[in-house]
Amino acid sequence: MSSVAVVGLGSMGRPMARNLLAAGHEVTVWNRSPGPVEDLVAEGAHRAERIEDAFASGVVFSVLADDGAVADAFLDSGVLAQAPAGALHVNLATVSTPLARRAAAVHAGYGVGYLAAPVFGRATVAEQGALNVVVAGDPGQIDRVQELFDVIGSRTWRLGDVPEQANAVKILGNYLLACAIESLGEAVGLAEKAGVDPAQLVELMTTTLFPGPVYATYGGLIAERRYQPAGFTTVLGRKDVHLALDAADAVGATLPFGAVLREVFEQALAQGRADDDWASIAELRR
């Protein structure tokens, strides 16, 4: 069994840490607010008083919200200078490709290993240990933590030797999810205006033309107008749409529908839906 620290105990980090504990690994936890730490310590985890202390485990999994949180916690704080020799940081956050490049360079400068390993799956999937782990970086370092990935996920997708490759794929995955949600919202909005039961429409489409978890899950939320509790918020959805547009600009590609999505998310936020599930953008079509 391995020693691992989990930094960031939100809706995704907490179940990851809990599953690693249940699998018999030695888990150290750190979070900005103390409540989740107390819960996991009661279940057998060790407490890290500072992020620096988390590196004593040798391997740190961080599950933070965005570029700013990752930069503040690891890149601009000086903690990497205090990491022991052979330490490895596995960044599971959805971050921009420029931040991914900077993170790889900063870690290398301090001699700290670095992997990008964002995940696909909502909090309920994390609880089941069934996430899809999208990882890129040094193959030897991936081998080092594969047994940990096997606990939090059902499959590990190795996408290359350069960390930002994993972040690019995660951004594109979330972009496609946003496209699906918007199209579902448009279809449900039109169906309702035509007098069609939206739940029946979603059931028909997801059992015939579009089987699978994306249309079924988000179609159900939209048909029932069930946007709380949020599995993934509208404000985070807007962030990821912007990440996709920025990634496209950086390589001279275009995402024409991305401009539509950007406007949709801005309108949803203006309506006060920042903390609703991002499926709530469908309400703009009603």
Q: Give, in order, the Cα–Cα distances in Å from 71 to each of 137, 163, 206, 222.
A: 19, 16, 40, 35
Nearest residue to 255 via CA among 160, 195, 191, 168: 168
Quick check: is 170 catalytic? Answer: yes
List the 131-135 sheet strands across, edge first.
Answer: 119-120, 131-135, 153-158
Q: Of 25, 89, 170, 238, which is the active-site residue?
A: 170
- Bridge partner list, 88: 59, 113
Which pair of structure tokens corresponds to residue 220? 């159900």
Q: DSSP for 175-207? A: HHHHHHHHHHHHHHHHHHHTT--HHHHHHHHHH
**What is the three-state SS of 16-72?**
HHHHHHHCCCEEEEECCCHHHHHHHHHCCCEECCCHHHHHHHCEEEECCCCHHHHHH
Instruction: Catalogue the active-site residues.
Output: 170
